[in-house]
């Protein structure tokens, strides 16, 4: 196995773990069922809209931002010309209702699945694929960590208000 093949295999494992939570054993850095999708699927729109401080970030905001970031990476994978990206707009969403929350979770899943299809469909992995895979894994893992911290605050809030 070449180094590129090994990296490619590891990248798919880490993407799966980051988003889907690997149930096949051998997790690299997350506990089972703590990836993006199992985490988000367990939350209501009200929980996703909870801000730690007034006007602060929310789980919905981190989810929207992560999807926005991965979509920028998808444009790169598709070979589309990169234009100036308005990163500030990726943080404007704070609160969601039930329909918007369902849509946001579906959109993140679709973006992730398209990323997998494009990476899997690449006949060879060059710098572009390596860059996108690495950036998607690390950026998504960072924001997943933030979301998991929100869960701690949500649990504490429900214990004190319950």
**pLDDT at position 72, please?**
96
What per-residue string of b and e applies to 55-89 under the rule 16 or more CB within 10 Å gives b? eebbbbbbbbbbbbbbbbbbebbeeeeeeeeeeee
**pLDDT at position 108, please?**
98
Per DSSP, the three-state class of 42 is coil
* Alpha-helical runs (H) found in 55-123: 59-77, 98-121
**pLDDT at position 66, please?**
98
**pLDDT at position 23, please?**
64
Q: Dump pLDDT digits (tens) for 116-141.
A: 999 999 989 999 999 999 999 999 99
Is pLDDT of 156 > 90? no
Q: Please, is 136 exposed, middle or buried when counting C-beta atoms within 10 Å of its C-beta (0-12, 13-18, 19+)?
A: buried
Compute the distance between CA of residue 113 and CA of residue 154 in angstroms, rounded to an integer. Answer: 29
**By percentage, how much of the chain surpasses pLDDT 90?**
76
Instruction: Look at 31 and 143; give whichever has higher pLDDT.
Output: 143
**pLDDT at position 147, please?**
96
**pLDDT at position 155, please?**
86
Q: Dump pLDDT digits (tens) for 57-83.
A: 999 999 999 999 999 999 999 999 888
**pLDDT at position 26, please?**
55
């Amino acid at each position: 196995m070449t180094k590129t093949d090994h990296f490619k295999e590891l990248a798919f494992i880490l993407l799966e773990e980051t988003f889907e939570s690997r149930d096949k054993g051998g997790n690299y850095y997350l506990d089972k069922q703590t990836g993006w999708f199992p985490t988000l699927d367990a939350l209501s729109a009200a929980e996703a809209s909870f801000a730690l401080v007034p006007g602060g970030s929310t789980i919905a905001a981190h989810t929207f931002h992560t999807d926005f970031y991965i979509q920028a990476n998808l444009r790169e994978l598709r070979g589309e010309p990169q234009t100036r990206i308005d990163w500030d707009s990726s943080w404007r969403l704070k609160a969601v209702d039930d329909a918007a929350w369902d849509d946001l979770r579906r959109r993140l899943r679709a973006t992730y699945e398209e990323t997998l299809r494009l990476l899997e469909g690449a006949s060879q992995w060059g710098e572009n694929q390596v860059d996108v895979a690495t950036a998607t894994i690390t950026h998504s893992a960072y924001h997943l960590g933030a979301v998991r911290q929100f869960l701690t605050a949500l649990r504490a809030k429900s214990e004190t208000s319950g």
